[in-house]
Amino acid sequence: MTAAHFSQSYREARQRFLAAARARGATVESHAHPLKGAEGEEIATDTALVGAADAAHLFIVSSGTHGAEGFSGSACQLALLHDTLPQRATDSGIAVLLIHAVNPYGFSHLTRTNEDNIDLNRNFGDFSQPYPANPVYEEIHDLLVPGAWPPSAAIEEKLTTAMARLAKQRDPGVSSGQAVHPDGLFYAGTRPAWSNKTIRAILRAHGRSRRHIAWIDVHTGLGPYGHGEKIFGRHSPETLAREQAWWGRDLIVSSMAESVSPRTMGHITGCAPEECPGVAITPTTLEYGTLPNPAVRRALRGEAWLAGHPDAPDALRKEIRRAVRDAFYVDADDWKGMILGQFRAFALQTINGLAAA
Ligand SMILES: [Zn+2]
């Protein structure tokens, strides 16, 4: 595993993923997105299946749910395709399914959200029910996404004060999600996004006949530099016990105060039990730290502001996109080494866990 597995653009990441998957003898499928990428290229969610279509156990690794966070997940997938671990998995009756670029539009255009400014990790809920109100977000929306960008010093001061007051609010917290401001942060949307429908179709095709599915969805942007936090979502106590047995006591329960992430609704892995009823599911979010929180927040605010100002000058647009890339992808060898090293240990634990399940 080397830092060379990291790509510098979605287009490069996709080409390398497809080439490595084919070289490995994987079954490759592509789900083309209706829009184009930042370089005018075709964009898609691609899958690579290593191992038998009828293997009892399935190990899923997905990347790019949050668009530009995909540089790391893609590198983990590419490293895995060059590793001996998939062989170890198939020898143990486990097929490996890599889902590349859940949100290819955001990966290519360097946004965390999708083509409609939807945060996909808030989009997998039940749309027959209203999305829960988020008074904590509501309180500071106008400070987070001001009328002009970059924001004035007065707005920054007010926001810093407000964030200090709201930082401990977790249920809901600022980033729990909201469905009121389409030009805001953590916007859940009002219907299932393209990626939502695509991921559900992939799960139905590849997951329904399995006995047990483990799923690692790779993210970046929260927590200490280079540290991979294994986050446990809203699942059963039995699933928690199993995950702690597989992955260790450093698994973090998202509802606990120590988590880097607050309570969220509409999480992507939540669709696995819905699409694969009767299959045991062991899901997690792997969240790697990048820059300090205020820098990441500022990048997200710029992205949201741009979503509401599509006619912004080109130079400002480029600056905002660059800030998003830098906030979610640290282009430094020490960081890349931490990402891949921790991922390999996590993947091995997952294969060992599934093999004994
Ligand atoms: Zn993320």
pLDDT tens for 218-252 read: 999 999 999 999 998 877 889 999 999 999 999 98
What pLDDT, on a 0 to 100 scale, did the predictor assign at position 259?
Answer: 62
β strands within the chain, DSSP E:
27-36, 42-50, 57-62, 94-100, 212-225, 228-232, 252-253, 280-289
Q: Ligand 1 center to residue 189 CA distance, Å? A: 16
Q: What is the pLDDT of residue 237?
A: 86
Distance 69 CA to ligand 1 centre (A): 6
pLDDT, tens only, 167-224: 878 778 899 999 999 999 999 999 999 999 999 999 999 999 999 999 999 999 999 9
Specify burial of residue 302 (Cβ count, 10 A radius: 0-12, 13-18, 19+): buried
d(CA 296, CA 173): 16
Can you give the pLDDT at residue 188? 97
Task: Provide the mean pLDDT of the chain.
Answer: 95
Q: Tell me, in angstroms, the distance from the centre of ligand 1 to residue 98's CA.
A: 17
Structure tokens at 95: 């097929």
In this structure, which CATH number among 3.90.340.10, 3.40.630.10, 1.20.140.10, 3.40.640.10 belongs to the domain 3-106+193-290+329-356? 3.40.630.10
- pLDDT tens digits, one per residue of 85-99: 999 999 999 999 999
Task: Please give the torsion angle defined by the CA atoms of residues 257, 260, 265 and 269, in that order, rounded to the nearest 10 degrees.
Answer: -120
For residue 54, report the distance from its CA to the centre of ligand 1, in Å.
Answer: 31
Token pair listed for 72:
């790391």
Report CA Rg, the chain. Answer: 19
Q: Output the CA 328–ligand 1 centroid distance in Å.
A: 9
CA 173 to the chain's CA centroid = 19
**Cα separation of 14 and 198, whole Å?**
17
CB 232 within 8 A of CB 243: yes
Give the least confident one: 89-98, 152-161, 256-265: 256-265
User: Cα(91) to centroid of ligand 1, in Å?
Assistant: 32
pLDDT digits (tens, 9 = 90+) for 11-42: 999 999 999 999 999 999 999 999 999 999 99
The two tokens of residue 324 are 């998003």
Domain limits, the chain: 3-106+193-290+329-356
Q: Is 292 buried (19+), middle (13-18) or exposed (0-12) by CB count in 10 A?
A: exposed
For the record, the structure tokens of 136 come out as 């904590």
156 alpha carbon to ligand 1 midpoint, in Å? 24
Non-local (6+) Cβ contacts of 12 within 8 A are none
- Tell me, in angstroms, the distance from the centre of ligand 1 to residue 254's CA: 14
Q: How confident is the model at residue 3 (pLDDT cuts 50, 70, 90)?
A: confident
Instruction: Find tokens 């979010």 and name the residue.
Output: 285
Q: At residue 54, does pLDDT exceed 60?
A: yes
